[in-house]
A and B are shown apart, each in its own frame.
Chain A
Amino acid sequence: MIKSTCPGSPELIALGAEAVLVKACYEGMPSIFKVRVRKPYRDRGLDTMLIRSRSEVEAKILAELRLKGLNVPALYYVDLSEGLIVMEFVEGPLLRDLIYRGSEKALKCLEELGELVASVHDAGVVHGDITTSNVIVGGDGVYLVDFGLAKYSRRLEDLATDIHLFIRSVESTHYGLKEALLRHFMKGYAKVKGRDFTDSLLIKVKEIRMRGRYVEERRVRRGI
């Protein structure tokens, strides 16, 4: 399909849940080839719909955010029928691993991530899967990657869901450090979006959490 113009063989980076990530060269630049693979357990019609729509939205959003100067991989090439996206390879460790290693940089990165997520929200985009393994700490700051579940939205509900999912992923991945990590994240977020907006967003986040199954804080209805 595409001829590699650089030496060295392609390298499998990750066998993700919905896509295969391969590092290879594209037009002389180290790149990530993301291919959404068919899932034999899914109805074919559903499969086609998901692969096409997710690839399309991901590519559009990557290009748009990059044009706004935000730290996301640059978009190089798209083939919707193949479910293929070629994008910039961002060099650096995952934020998750930096935290596991107890790096001093971690808290500063969380604050930068908060700023980046706020800017993404400002651009009318929600990421849909913010986790510390979807953040690469590059030479010139943190990069948000994997916009596979991203969508266009400015609704407070969707923005708050984005934050809710991030909080939950920090709770399950970095339980012991969650308070410090989240405090720095929210500090960065508020720098961009302002204290008032951030506070109203956090009220919505709490409301979403309360909607979950068997939430202890939710008051039991009287009279049962």
Chain B
Amino acid sequence: MIILGIESSAHTFGVGVVRDEPPHILADVRFVYKPKTGGIHPKEASQYFMSNAPEAVKEALSKAGVKVRDLDGIAVALGPGMGPCLRVGATLARAMASYYGKPLIPVNHALAHVEIGKMLFSFKNPLIVYLSGGNTLIASFSEGRYRIFGETLDISLGNFLDTLARELGIAPPYVVSGLHQIDRCAQNGKNFIELPYVVKGQDVSFSGLLTAALKLYKSSRAELSDICYSAREIAYSAIIEVSERALAHTGNKEVLVVGGVASSPVLRSKFEVMSRLRGVELGIVPPQYAVDNGVMIAWTGLLLLKHGVHVRPEEAYVRQRWKLDQVDVPWLARTNSSGS
């Protein structure tokens, strides 16, 4: 079975081609929209996607060495994400599926991050820690779906780091040589300053920390590097704490960290220490597949199609707020995740 997958939920227009026997990944083409200032402008991003979409598909097919007629299905990310961006991928996928008469497979972007990670580490039933620009959530499989055990009550970790860096005047670019500007600036920080640390149950909250850190910066009462260091330590520690709480609660023996923010080496080492202490296996999706890409959409599409999931093109509408816990996962047994 060979599937082509299209990703366009935020800043990356990605086309991937995968098949069900190794090597699974046949092509991985990405066009990344980079804003000159500020964050992602959805309209600008979607225009960038539209002008590069045909090239991306052509390149993916030629790299994979397949023709459209060889494909068993077209998978597309329909959400969650930015509407104007998602619509570019959806329109292209609908057109290809109806013109070539191929099954159209609706893929949840969050589930795709999880499934590509599980494939890479051969994990069976991990606790999911999903950290990206748009998402901060902790999930575990139970009764047919991934259930959300914890999430942010306001902004995501990625959004927190990016906004802080931008307001402190050290971004864009947000990531330089694989290191986020906040991690970079924190390297020279030595003094820990007390700022709001908010963990409520399994949930985190970063908006108060952001406001307090910026207020401190504007007051000029602390070194920039100390502000970066303290804000980062608090944000990362809160994430590790809720992950650890979820592990204690669910009894999962594996932790899978997915999403682009997971590539921070500082966060990675904190996860390593925690996993060693708790005796669980850790998988952090490597940067190449942690960021948005078409391969993860194609791979999840393949799993879905094998379980008979596909829709008519007119049913393939985008869902900007399609959460992970709204998707049935037929390839996992109906088990109760609780260890008891």
Contact = CB atoms under 8 A, between A and B. Distances in A.
Do these two chains interact? yes
Interface string B307-331: 0000000000001111100100000
Nearest to B247: A17
A44 B237 CA distance: 11
Contacts of B270: 41
A208 B199 contact: no
B245 A17 contact: yes
Contact of A42 (B136, B237, B322, B340): B237
Contacts of B274: 39, 41
B236 to A, nearest CB: 8
A172 B147 contact: yes
A7 interface: no
B192 A43 contact: yes
Contacts of B249: 131, 133
Nearest to A43: B233
B13 interface: no
Interface string A48-69: 0110000000000000000000
Contacts of A2: none
B149 A17 contact: no
Nearest to B340: A97
A150 to B, nearest CB: 11
B137 interface: yes
A161 interface: yes
Contact of A212 (B140, B153, B192, B336): B153
Contacts of A130: 201
A102 interface: no
Contacts of A215: 321, 323
A17 B320 contact: no
A213 B278 CA distance: 29
A172 B338 CA distance: 10
Contacts of A96: 338, 340
A129 B149 CA distance: 12
B147 A175 contact: yes
B152 interface: yes
A135 to B, nearest CB: 14
Interface in B118-153: 134-137, 140, 142-143, 147-149, 151-153
Nearest to A215: B321
A176 interface: yes
A1 interface: no
Interface in B8-55: 42
B151 A171 contact: no
A224 to B, nearest CB: 5
Contacts of A17: 241, 244-245, 247-248
B83 A224 contact: yes
A187 interface: no
B148 A168 contact: yes
Contacts of A100: 336, 338, 340
Given A43-B233, A100-B340, A214 B80 contact: yes
A175 B244 contact: no
A49 B194 contact: yes
A206 interface: no
Contacts of B171: none
Interface string A21-44: 000000000000000000111111
Contacts of B154: 211
9 contacts: A41-B273, A43-B237, A50-B197, A173-B338, A211-B153, A212-B151, A213-B152, A213-B323, A215-B323
CB-based closest 10 A-B pairs: A45-B192, A165-B201, A172-B147, A17-B245, A214-B321, A17-B244, A41-B270, A41-B273, A214-B80, A43-B233
